[in-house]
Amino acid sequence: MHLHILGICGTFMGGLAALAREAGHRVTGCDAEVYPPMSEQLRALGIELIEGYGAGQMALAPDVFVVGNAIKRGNPLMEAVLDAGVRYTSGPQWLADHVLQGRHVLAVAGTHGKTTTTAMLAWMLDQAGLQPGFLVGGVPLNFGVSARLGGGKCFVIEADEYDTALFDKRSKFVHYRPRTAVLNNLEHDHADIFPDLAAIETQFHHLVRTVPASGRLVVNARDAALQRVLARGCWSEVLRFGTKREEPGGLCARGEAQSFDVLRGNLKLGHVAWDLLGEHNQLNALAAIGAADHVGVAPEIAAAALSTFQNVRRRLELRGSVALTGGEVKVYDDFAHHPTAMRVTVGGLRRRLDQNASAPGAPRQRILAVFEPRSNTMKLGTMKAQLPWALEEADLVFGLQGDYGWSVREALAPLGPSAAVAVSVDALVAAIVQAARPGDHVLCMSNGGFGGIHGKLLDALKARHP
């Protein structure tokens, strides 16, 4: 079968492309923007990438056009597909029909932590010898690819609540029919399609309806929205995580975020010692351990596997450093784009720097937080009021002003002179380089390529401080 994928460089569609290629299909695809890490992965697999959505791509004559959810009416290629009456489908539907059918699907849903938790779970199952297939919305460093078919019965998938396609407005995850479903947390997001949190809760309720009675829901006990979802109806076993130790049956942690025991009540099940930061990752680990247990991986083995877990690209990923007189400036890349995720990322880096301070009384290492309001929710300005809260632990803040219909400068005004705004990536780079000093940590946050800001920053710092 020849698939031509519209929107192939998205994390989900790129993973689907990799799976189809591994299954022996011919795969081509197009996108408006072709940028790493997905573009690198796809080219390495020998998948032809076309920039743009020209109607001339109809000449490829594939067996099916697979349409990503970023594609809208008016897209030249989509209009040509509709006019020609040729076969098309959505990514989640193709995946359900050709990859997931007959497998034990473990789906990881939630506003935050989906990618990391999915990667953790896949690694646990891999280390237990289950040879899982997986599709992760990023590139797990342990595997080097975002997706593989696997040789075992299990398939681990990141389960996104965003809509499926222009012709199917259900959430992606309703196509996956999981036997094990992780519900990690739930906040209002995707404001372009969900008017409020209640609307997203409804979609999560639909996901719960697809889990069989023999299945398992692994649910964050601390999240009130998820408790409301379960209250609307639940037909499967529920394992809660993040519980208090005195609560029977749930999974909880004892110890620091980078070294902790996994408990069920007061019973120790395993121990995790790793390099990941923050309580959020501790909760992600508990969720993955609870899901792995459902397919027979003992918590002790699952917890031990995390000692070699290397996280996912674009999760506080160090892109490079420049040595200056008196110290170096480090530049990081992170996928954070929701205010809660931004706050967790900045706070996690702050804790690491404070813990690793070279000596008592040494100068505090600064964080320069740089962000692009790129997600549809942020472009709409739905959460602009939360930006000062999200970034308050940074020493300096730099924002990119695009054609959003709202002022980033006004949104950051509560931060006072520590915040600056620029109207282009090049102007942003110039401002950051001017402000940077030895020992600084520059944290760039965006769910896109951010105009190649990481490389531009490193080059500009080297040029200014040869």
According to the 3-state scheme, what is the secondary structure of 233-248?
A: CCCCEEEEECCCCCCC
Q: State the pLDDT at residue 41.
A: 78
**Band of the pLDDT at 447, cuts 50, 70, 90?**
confident
pTM value? 0.81
- Count the Cβ atoms, other than its own, within 10 Å of residue 183: 26
Return the SS3 of 381.
coil
Assess contact for 224 and 324: CB atoms under 8 A.
no
Phi, psi of 305 (to 5 degrees): -60, -30
With a cut of 90, say whether residue 30 has pLDDT above it. Answer: yes
Stretch(es) of the chain classified as CATH 3.90.190.20:
317-464
With a cut of 80, say whether residue 411 has pLDDT above it. Answer: yes
Please state the CATH superfamily assignment of the domain spanning residues 2-90 in this structure: NAD(P)-binding Rossmann-like Domain (3.40.50.720)
With a cut of 90, say whether residue 212 has pLDDT above it. Answer: yes
Q: How far apart are CA 395 and CA 364, in angstroms?
A: 10
Q: How far apart are CA 155 and CA 134, in angstroms?
A: 5
Stretch(es) of the chain classified as CATH 3.40.50.720:
2-90
Q: How far apart are CA 28 and CA 77, in angstroms?
A: 14
Q: How far apart are CA 231 and CA 234, in angstroms?
A: 7
Pairing, β 88-90 against β 104-109: unpaired
**Band of the pLDDT at 337, cuts 50, 70, 90?**
confident
Pairing, β 327-334 against β 441-445: parallel
Q: Which long-range contacts (CB under 8 A, 24 or more apart) does 446-450 make?
A: 446/335, 446/337, 446/371, 446/372, 446/374, 447/335, 447/337, 447/374, 447/375, 448/33, 448/35, 448/372, 448/374, 449/33, 449/35, 449/36, 450/372, 450/374, 450/400, 450/425
Mean pLDDT on 8-13: 89
10-24, 103-117, 148-162, 319-333, range with the lowest pLDDT: 319-333
Pairing, β 251-256 against β 259-264: antiparallel
Mean of the per-residue pLDDT values for the chain?
Answer: 91
Mean pLDDT on 199-221: 96
Q: State the pLDDT at residue 209.
A: 97
Q: How many residues does the chain have?
A: 466
**Band of the pLDDT at 465, cuts 50, 70, 90?**
low
With a cut of 80, say whether residue 70 has pLDDT above it. Answer: yes
Q: State the pLDDT at residue 85.
A: 97
Q: State the pLDDT at residue 19.
A: 96
The rounded percent of the chain whose pLDDT value lies above 70 is: 97
The upper half-sphere exposure of residue 177, i.e. CA atoms within 13 Å in the direction of its Cβ, equals 10
Q: State the pLDDT at residue 243.
A: 85
Q: List all residues 6 or more positions away from 250 whose beta carbon is below 8 Å from its beta carbon.
A: 221, 239, 240, 241, 242, 243, 264, 265
Assess contact for 292 and 272: CB atoms under 8 A.
no
Mean pLDDT on 381-393: 88
Q: pLDDT digit string (tens) for 155-176?
A: 999 999 889 999 999 999 999 9
Stretch(es) of the chain classified as CATH 3.40.1190.10:
102-308
Please state the CATH superfamily assignment of the domain spanning residues 317-464 in this structure: Mur ligase, C-terminal domain (3.90.190.20)
Q: State the pLDDT at residue 381.
A: 82
Q: State the pLDDT at residue 69.
A: 92
Domain 102-308 has CATH 3.30.479.10: no
The two three-digit tokens of residue 118, written as one number: 């999915």
Q: State the pLDDT at residue 359.
A: 57
The two three-digit tokens of residue 97, written as one number: 């029909």
The two three-digit tokens of residue 5, written as one number: 């994928």
Which of 344, 110, 108, 386 has the alpha carbon at shortest distance from 223? 110
